[in-house]
Structure 1
Amino acid sequence: MTDTTGWYQSLNLPSWNPPPPAFGLIWMVVFTLIAAAGVTAWRAAPDSRSADTLIGLFALNGALNVSWTVLFFQLRHPDWAMIELAVLWVSIVVLIIACVRFSRSAAALLLPYLAWVSIAGALNWQVIQLNGPF
């Protein structure tokens, strides 16, 4: 779903853009931390209603994460992806707030995700500035 050849390589990228292999490694770590946070918070939830809410929030966040990839790489609309990324960022904050109610460690595991999406947002913005309009 993430094709970093062709169109992506033709973009003007900021000088501080990580090399393409770094993205896969970073996302692998981030997704592992997200899964660990989800399991930790789910296990700490005091009842099934709380656990179900957490599952729903993680599912929504996952859908938003995939949507950014579709907007940016498949539809080639970094401008639309930037708007969606703002919603994704808010959903991560909501996840952190929801998790901290049951497990501080689960919430802490999501902080690198928030940091990485913040960096991705800055990169996305730079791509728009260097290449737009789309």
Structure 2
Amino acid sequence: MSWMEWYNTLSKPDWTPAPGTISLIWQILYPIIIVSFGYVFVQTGRGKLPKTTAVPFSINLIANLCFTPILFGLRNLPLATLDILIVWTTIVWMMIVIWPRIRWVAVAQAPYLLWVSIATTLQVSIFWMNRGV
């Protein structure tokens, strides 16, 4: 069965956004992520930011990129739930770390944090509703 067929068989909350909505949100967020993360990585590489500043950004990027293969490739709800919790936590960590140095980068993460908060709630709900499956 395809990943979409599998996903459609899962129990989900009534408020689950349509796939097109989720796609649109990521199309808006990814450019923000690319610019703000890129700026942090470039500034870190130039020695203008401590290397430790890039740590939460790096962890977030890896966890974000792993979510889709974990959920739809492995079809592993518990691991996908853990992964998205890491994504959420590292966004908060990034905002705290970068705020004293480059405030616009911290502010730019606000829509990302908002969406991942919703997505985390959704993923935890899906995991909980399908825990016996």
Query: Which TM class, normalised by the smaller chain length?
Result: 0.7 to 0.9
Contact 1:40–1:103 at 8 Å: present in 2 too? no
Identity of aligned residues (%): 27
2:107 matched to 1:113?
no
Contact 2:56–2:91 at 8 Å: present in 1 too? no
Q: RCO greater where, 1 or 2, for CA within 8 Å and sep 6 or more? A: 1
**Unmatched runs of 5 consecutive residues or more in structure 1:** none
Write out per-residue CA displacement over residues 72-130 of structure 1, whole angstroms, 9 at most, x where no aligned residue: 11111111211222222111112112221222111010011111111111111111222
Cα distance in 1 for residues equivalent to 2:20 and 2:125: 20
* One-letter amino acid matched to 1:61: N
Q: 1:133 to 1:71 in 2, by over 3 A?
A: farther
Write out per-residue CA displacement over residues 9-32 of structure 1, whole angstroms, 9 at most, x where no aligned residue: 111211100111111110111111
Match of 1:66 in 2: 65
Cα distance in 2 for residues equivalent to 1:58 and 1:51: 13
Q: 1:23 to 1:50 in 2, by over 3 A?
A: same
Contact 2:12–2:125 at 8 Å: present in 1 too? yes
Q: How many residues align?
A: 131
- C-alpha deviation, 1:34, in angstroms: 1.3
Q: 1:15 to 1:32 in 2, by over 3 A?
A: same
Match of 1:80 in 2: 79
Secondary structure class of the residue paired with 2:49: helix
Match of 1:97 in 2: 96
Cα distance in 2 for residues equivalent to 1:75 and 1:101: 39
Match of 1:123 in 2: 122
2:23 matched to 1:24?
yes
Contact 2:91–2:113 at 8 Å: present in 1 too? yes
Match of 1:10 in 2: 9
Q: What TM-score, normalized by structure 2, do the two folds share?
A: 0.83
Task: Please tell me the root mean square deviation across aligned C-alpha atoms, in Å.
Answer: 2.3
